[in-house]
Amino acid sequence: MFIIKQRKFFFIISAILVLLSIFAIYQIGIPLGIEFTGGTIIELNYDIAANRPASNELSTKLADLDLGQVLIQPLGDKAFLLRLKTINESEKENLVSISGGSEARYSSIGPSLGRELARKGVIALILTMILIIIYIAFVFRKVSLAALAGEAVSSWKYGVIAVVALVHDAFIATGFMVFLSKVLGLEADSLFLTALLMIIGLSVNDTIVVFDRIRENLRHPEGRHFDELVGKSILETMARSINTSLAVVLVLMAIYFLGAAGTKNFALIMTVGLIVGTYSSIFLASPLLVTWQKFTARRAERKG
Amino acid sequence: MAIIMSQKILIHLLTWRFSTIMAKMLKRRILSIVIIILAAGLAYFIFSDIRPFHLGLDLRGGSHLVYEADTSTLAPFDIADSMESLRGVIERRINAFGVSEPIIQSETAGLGPEASHRLIVELPGITDLKEALNLIDATPVLEFKEERPEGPEKEAIKKTITDFNAAIKEGEAPPQDISLELLNSDPNFIPTALTGRYLKRAQVAFGQNSISPSISIEFNAEGAKLFADLTEKNLGQPIAIYLDGKPLSAPVVRDVIRDGRAEISGDFTLTDARDLARDLNLGALPVAIKLLSTETVGPTLGQEALDRGITAGLVGLLFVASFMVFWYRLNGLIAAISLAIYIVLVLAIFKLLPVTLTAAGIAGFILSIGIAIDADILIFERMKEELRGGKHLHEAINDGFARAWLSIRDSNLSTVISAVVLFWLGTSLIKGFALTLIIGIIVSLFTAITITRNLLLAVAPGHQSSVVKFLFGHGLKR
């Protein structure tokens, strides 16, 4: 089967994408929003509605102050709510005078709260990966006993490969997010973390469907070798993988173009993660299974 | 003869087999109609005002405050109790403020001595926080003071105050060398260690020998000990009770009180007594609090987010349904119908539990529409393989479901794992997303294997024809 035969080519593509992402993350860094770092909220009041500038007008004015990203939300018809990084007293005064409004409220998100979310986020990512290895090892616990003499792959290897695929997806999605932050100036918020965890979940979802088919085909090998069975399984599940991804991408597009402002970036990052996730379950995870099986077989041969 | 007999038997057998299939199908069809009627009923419930949807602050407007409690002075085993009474005090204050449906929760972040104890306050509809913040932050200080002993200090304070007052009276500038510290001191009373921190509760009581009401107060264990010491030391002398630096009353100690209960008597009217008891309770804020974060969303912004969420959901549903009908034809139509039933079920659960819907929660729900259809796609792809293997339609449907089930279960559980971890992660924003997604996935497992299956078997004819082949086929080919 084409994908299995040319697997090295796809491995190289994946490696390049992951390396590019790591490079981007290392060079640019993940731009953390105020939910992670702590930050400031300022409420600006205008005495009459006509005195209040348009959001984008205020945004251009504030751009000169170099305060980083300032999120502007209208409150009622005479006020703005600004969210930005922690600023000092003189910067705040500049901001208020430039805005033409009066400061109605000034409050901040404590940095401790932000650090806590960041720490919890890292714990959540690691925890999800561990749970998924355990889960797959459990679900596929009988797969190593399948009737393919000498070519069986033990169940924990399925788990490890699923995790390799999801790490691949998470890195590329994060790399894309970093790229977007350069282009669109968006910042990582708690919904970015949510998107990352969901990408992981859905990536494994896809991988499991293919593995599940491999498990089933292993029960009736009909004289086929392991690599042929994996190729057959990929072909059999390909339509499903593509159609499901298409359905999810359709709803994500609806969220991106029509949904609430706060969930736009979430939908965009999820879309990329989902496409990469589908790619990795077909072109990375299953071929890796074959590579690992061949490697083990060769070593056993040399020993024997 | 024998041939005719066997032919008759054959015909009989065929019609019998046909009629059982017909009976089964009839049952399926009746069941399908019942399901659709039930779903229509649920849809009515969703659009009705019965048990309205619970909208989060980001959709209905309001404020979300996070306070950190300073528990550093408390013994570890006291913390839980203190947080609970803190919650109670603040809840009473907010209720007095007249906010509808406020949520006040205490929450612990981290573990052991590093743990941070928080109070989450949600005020729907309140966007001007000044008043609310003052109300919550205002920490009335309840103090118990004893008489200042006679001595040079007392004289000095008295003299300073008299001089100052005399100067003001004469219209002169107050003396330049006046000590502000002495001027602001109370000549008659000095603070003690006993404060509102140790007060458990205060309530209006009616004494046996008096018509006018009094206030009965109760200290916690530590406060009771302090109070015992204080009363022992000041037997026969007054102890003054101050709220926010203002004297409330100064009852004379008649007995040493060891049980931590005391009665403040005086010339109270019932209203005075009630107010005093309330002030004392308010003063008993057990822990100092600090505002960690505030979040406020205006009602217009919230309404906009809600409207956009609904539009995105409807359009997303329309996209997915069209795609399914286009690719999977009749199967796709059935998937679209069962998707509509899925949505009705999930929304009904959101109403009944109730689940607080946020913008992120709505996004999670819309995402779950895409994920829910995955089960149908898995089943249809399986059916396709079974049909290709030469099976009859009904057989293919049943086997397709049976074979796809393992994949559906195993793959969806991995998404549930992610969602559960997300739920544990826990800011309210993420929790809303995770919860709607978990409910969505579980319901989608149910609808895929019961409703889609039943509808499919109800419409699948017992015979094969090119029309049937087309309807149950898929893809771009005829």
Can you give the residue range of the structural domain that contains A64? Answer: 39-109
Instruction: Find the CB nearest B300 among A74, A206, A212.
Output: A74
**CATH number of the domain that residue A131 is part of:** 1.20.1640.10
For chain B, the farthest-separated pair of C-alpha atoms sits apart, in whole angstroms, at 142
pLDDT in tens, A224-244: 888 899 999 999 999 999 999
**Co-location of A271 and A124 in the same domain:** yes
Confidence at residue A66, expressed as pLDDT on a 0 to 100 scale = 78
Greater confidence (B21 vs B72) lies with B72
Mutate to test the interface with A, among B320, B414, B423 (most CBs of A within 10 A): B414
Of the three residues A109, A138, A159, the one that is the final residue of a domain is: A109
Lowest mean per-residue pLDDT among A3-12, A122-131, A163-172, B11-20: B11-20
Residue of B nearest to A106 (CA): B294
Does this model's pTM top 0.90? no
Lowest mean per-residue pLDDT among A82-86, B31-35, B241-245, B390-394: B241-245
Window 333-352 of B: residues touching A by CB (8 A cutoff) are none
Q: Does B326 touch chain A (CB under 8 A)?
A: no
Of the three residues A88, A109, A130, the one that is the final residue of a domain is: A109
Q: Does B97 touch chain A (CB under 8 A)?
A: no
Residue B337 three-state SS: helix
Of B359, B337, B334, B361, which Cα lies nearest the Cα of B439?
B361
Q: Which two tokens stand for residue A195?
A: 């998107």
Instruction: Find the CB nearest B296 among A81, A124, A237.
Output: A81
**Co-location of A174 and A189 in the same domain:** yes
Confidence at residue B69, expressed as pLDDT on a 0 to 100 scale = 83
- Taking an 8 Å cut-off on Cβ atoms, the answer to whether A254 and B363 are in contact is no
Window 365-384 of B: residues touching A by CB (8 A cutoff) are 366-367, 369-371, 373-374, 377-378, 381
Confidence at residue A137, expressed as pLDDT on a 0 to 100 scale = 83
Mutate to test the interface with A, among B70, B120, B319, B410 (most CBs of A within 10 A): B410
Average pLDDT over residues B347-372: 88
Give contacts of B293 with chain A, Cβ < 8 Å: 107-110, 113
**Co-location of A54 and A71 in the same domain:** yes
Confidence at residue A74, expressed as pLDDT on a 0 to 100 scale = 76
As beta bridge partners, residue A43 has A81, A105
Average pLDDT over residues B10-32: 73
Residue of B nearest to A133 (CA): B414
Q: Does B389 touch chain A (CB under 8 A)?
A: no
pLDDT in tens, B307-334: 999 999 999 999 999 999 999 989 999 9
Instruction: Give long-range contacts, CB 8 A cutoff, 24+ apart: A224-227.
Output: A225/A151, A226/A148, A226/A151, A226/A153, A226/A290, A226/A293, A227/A1, A227/A4, A227/A290, A227/A293, A227/A294
Q: Which two tokens stand for residue B316?
A: 């997303």
Confidence at residue A11, expressed as pLDDT on a 0 to 100 scale = 95
Q: Report how many domains make up chain A.
A: 2
- What is the Cα–Cα distance from A118 to A111, expressed in whole angstroms? 11
pLDDT in tens, B159-217: 777 877 777 777 766 666 666 667 667 777 887 878 777 777 778 877 666 677 877 88
Confidence at residue A273, expressed as pLDDT on a 0 to 100 scale = 94
Q: Is the pLDDT of residue B140 over 60?
A: no
**Co-location of A189 and A47 in the same domain:** no
* Residue B2 pLDDT grade (very low, low, confident, very high; cuts 50, 70, 90): low
Q: Does A248 touch chain B (CB under 8 A)?
A: yes
Mutate to test the interface with B, among A258, A268, A269 (most CBs of B within 10 A): A258
Lowest mean per-residue pLDDT among A26-30, B256-260, B271-275: B271-275
Q: Does A209 touch chain B (CB under 8 A)?
A: yes
**Co-location of A100 and A187 in the same domain:** no
Average pLDDT, chain A: 84
Spacing of C-alpha B124 from chain mean position: 12
**Co-location of A82 and A154 in the same domain:** no
Please give the DSSP secondary-structure letter assigned to residue A188. Answer: B
Window 299-318 of B: residues touching A by CB (8 A cutoff) are 299-301, 304-306, 308-309, 311-313, 315-317
Q: B441 vs chain A: nearest CA distance in angstroms?
A: 12
Residue A110 near residue A38, CB atoms below 8 Å:
yes
Give contacts of A131 with chain B, Cβ < 8 Å: 417, 421
pLDDT in tens, A254-293: 999 998 877 888 899 999 999 999 999 999 999 999 999 8
Average pLDDT over residues B253-273: 76
For chain A, the farthest-separated pair of C-alpha atoms sits apart, in whole angstroms, at 88
- Taking an 8 Å cut-off on Cβ atoms, the answer to whether B411 and A77 are in contact is no
In which element (H, E) is residue A285 found? none
**Which residue type does B223 have?**
G
**Co-location of A89 and A142 in the same domain:** no
- Quick one: three-class SS letters along B67-104? EEEECCCCCHHHHHHHHHHHHHHHHHHHHHHCCCCCEE
- Taking an 8 Å cut-off on Cβ atoms, the answer to whether B359 and A260 are in contact is yes
- Taking an 8 Å cut-off on Cβ atoms, the answer to whether B308 and A252 are in contact is no
**Co-location of A76 and A26 in the same domain:** no
The DSSP string of A126-138 is HHHHHHHHHHHHH
**Co-location of A138 and A202 in the same domain:** yes
Give contacts of A105 with chain B, Cβ < 8 Å: 129-130, 294
Give contacts of B312 with chain A, Cβ < 8 Å: 254-255, 257-260
Residue of B nearest to A128 (CA): B418
Q: Does B95 touch chain A (CB under 8 A)?
A: no
Q: Does A270 touch chain B (CB under 8 A)?
A: yes
* Residue A87 pLDDT grade (very low, low, confident, very high; cuts 50, 70, 90): low
Q: Is the pLDDT of residue B478 over 60?
A: no
State the complex-level ipTM: 0.81
Confidence at residue B138, expressed as pLDDT on a 0 to 100 scale = 60
Average pLDDT over residues A157-161: 88
* Residue A104 pLDDT grade (very low, low, confident, very high; cuts 50, 70, 90): low
Q: Does B105 touch chain A (CB under 8 A)?
A: no
**Co-location of A13 and A90 in the same domain:** no
**Co-location of A190 and A203 in the same domain:** yes
Confidence at residue B265, expressed as pLDDT on a 0 to 100 scale = 66
Window 71-100 of A: residues touching B by CB (8 A cutoff) are 73-77, 79, 81
Confidence at residue A50, expressed as pLDDT on a 0 to 100 scale = 79
Share of chain A above pLDDT 90, in %: 31
The answer to whether the bond into B354 is cis (omega within 30° of 0) is yes
Confidence at residue B345, expressed as pLDDT on a 0 to 100 scale = 94
CA distances from B123 to B56, B66, B295, B297, B431 (A): 10, 11, 10, 11, 18
Of the three residues A60, A86, A109, the one that is the final residue of a domain is: A109
**Co-location of A94 and A237 in the same domain:** no
In which element (H, E) is residue A152 found? none
* Residue A245 pLDDT grade (very low, low, confident, very high; cuts 50, 70, 90): very high
Q: What is the dihedral of CA B89, B92, B94, B99, to 10 degrees?
A: 150
**CATH number of the domain that residue A76 is part of:** 3.30.70.3400
Residue B256 near residue B53, CB atoms below 8 Å:
no
Residue with tokens 């609808």: B447
Q: Is the pLDDT of residue A106 over 60?
A: no
Greater confidence (B126 vs A146) lies with B126
- CA B14-B20-B25 angle, to 5 degrees, is 125
Instruction: Find the CB nearest A205 among B66, B323, B415.
Output: B415
Mutate to test the interface with B, among A83, A109, A263 (most CBs of B within 10 A): A263
E strands, B211-326, in order: 213-219, 239-243, 246-249, 261-264, 288-297
Domains in chain B with CATH codes: 25-57+298-471 (1.20.1640.10), 62-139 (3.30.70.3220), 142-148+188-284 (3.30.1360.200)
